Structure 1
Amino acid sequence: MQLLRTYLNDFVSLLFPRLCPACNASLVAGEKIICTDCRYNLPFTNFQEQADNIVARQFWGKLNIESAYALYYFNKGGKVQNLVHHLKYKDMPQIGNVLGEISGMQLKSHPIIAHTDLVIPVPLHKKRLKERGYNQSAHFAEGIASVLGCGVETGNLVRKVATETQTHKSRFARFKNMQEVFEVKFPDRLAGKHLLLVDDIITTGSTLEACGAALLKIPGLKLSIATIAYAE
């Protein structure tokens, strides 16, 4: 029976090959979502080894965070962009879980982030969530939390306003666009906690800054930040 199942799986793979969303190569037996070559050779930032990395510096003087991290560098037209595109627009939320697990493995020995109490994803507006069917950042959060052994908090930090796209806006325009967008519904549940706020890509940091500003109103809260990619 096991041999027959193997033959059937091989036959199905011939007709409908599983492809790596980063490089489009066929996945072989044992490879999960992302091929082995991409798992080891995508452009890692190694920000977990740099306390004053580029992402952390973006928040200096703006947001009182404990630490900041991004898994990959994002280059236009590159493999990381392919991954994020499939995660957000090709109904592949499981990519977020896998990237979260990879991040978690890097962060489990981090002197600060390893001691996270809760991982909290940047929320989508309910209209966008209905259109997409899932929040890609929530899946990234689940992957990290599964390795760090902490919880995930969704539905507490909410996006009150469906903002315009940020893609072609200046930093100041992005900041104005995000003012008063986010709200914490149950702040008492987060008081005194160390939160890891996560998103898919950080560019200017305006969205994360707005989320962080809402969260840091809570007494005793400590905040760190992690993203899938940093876009230079």
Structure 2
Amino acid sequence: MFTSLLSPLVHLFYPHCCEVCGTDLPQTEELLCLRCMQALPATNFHRHANNPVALIFNGRALVQQATAAYYYSQSSGLQQLIHQFKYRQRPDIANWLGKQMGYMLKESTWLSTIDCIVPVPLFPRKEKLRGYNQATLLANGIAHVTQLPVQPKALSRQQFTSTQTKKGRTGRWQNVADAFQANDTSICNRHLLLVDDVITTGATTEACCNALLQAGAQVSVCCLAFSYS
């Protein structure tokens, strides 16, 4: 009873606001108001085998399934959320978005074939500077919903690579072609779900997939957002 009386006072001095529009949130809503939540541009790619993300890997890497939860859109507030967890020390946002990815994946017909989740790694120095790997946080959110294990050390980034943002398709591929290495022999003959935040040309994801495939694994891909640019 004391807790129920205290809750409105805590809410008064520490308001619980939507991370996108700033609207005051009721206690039943976690990070986004209902309107901003509904505005997130879901792709529904997990329901369709030949979706635009899956087509990226045709002839490039033997990927079993591929999906992205949302379209990368500024107007929906998704870009703002991604910026918050990548550059503003908001790991809670990444974990929450990972849970939304998990709920979507549970609607797919192929999640039951996955053995474990592998996040795309950061270079150790970059991860130390940021304090966490955002792909691992997304993977942990997915794991919370799906109950699949996460293997954050199955893959490592051997080379520091400059940002992909301003590079063209060829430049992106050359930047990461030999940057990743599979470390865990237990992944052989297992079906892995590779997780990352944003996929554009697929160069980084392809390099990760090839490293895991060379280690004898099967690979599917799930990214938070798909960017056409």
Q: Report the TM-score when normalising by structure 1.
A: 0.92
Per-residue deviation, residues 94-128 of structure 1 (Å, max 9, x unmatched):
22222222221221232223321011100011111
How much identity, in percent, do the aligned residues show? 38
Rounded Cα–Cα distance in structure 2 between residues aligned with 1:132 and 1:156: 20
Rounded Cα–Cα distance in structure 2 between residues aligned with 1:150 and 1:33: 24
Rounded Cα–Cα distance in structure 1 between residues aligned with 2:126 and 2:221: 23
CA positional deviation for 1:18: 2.4
Per-residue deviation, residues 130-160 of structure 1 (Å, max 9, x unmatched):
1111111111111112222210001220011
Question: What is the RMSD computed on CA atoms of the aligned residues?
Answer: 1.6
- In 1, are the aligned partners of 2:182 and 2:211 still within 8 Å (CA)? yes
Partner of 1:227: 223
2:60 to 56, 59, 62: 62
**Total equivalences in the alignment:** 228
CA positional deviation for 1:22: 2.8
DSSP 3-state at the match of 1:72 = strand
DSSP 3-state at the match of 2:7 = helix
Partner of 1:194: 191
Q: How does 1:134-173 map to 2 (within 5 A)?
A: 134-173=132-171
DSSP 3-state at the match of 1:152 = coil
Task: Spell out structure 1 runs of 4+ moving beyond 3 A.
Answer: 5-9
Rounded Cα–Cα distance in structure 2 between residues aligned with 1:107 and 1:8: 38
Structure 2: give runs of 5+ residues left out of the alignment.
none
Partner of 2:27: 29
DSSP 3-state at the match of 1:151 = coil
Structure 1: give runs of 5+ residues left out of the alignment.
none
- In 2, are the aligned partners of 1:17 and 1:26 still within 8 Å (CA)? yes
State yes or no: 1:208 paired with 2:205: yes
CA positional deviation for 1:20: 2.1
**Aligned letter for 2:57?**
F
**Aligned letter for 2:161?**
T
**Aligned letter for 1:114?**
S
- In 2, are the aligned partners of 1:158 and 1:182 still within 8 Å (CA)? yes
- In 2, are the aligned partners of 1:66 and 1:112 still within 8 Å (CA)? no
- In 2, are the aligned partners of 1:197 and 1:224 still within 8 Å (CA)? yes
**Aligned letter for 2:197?**
D
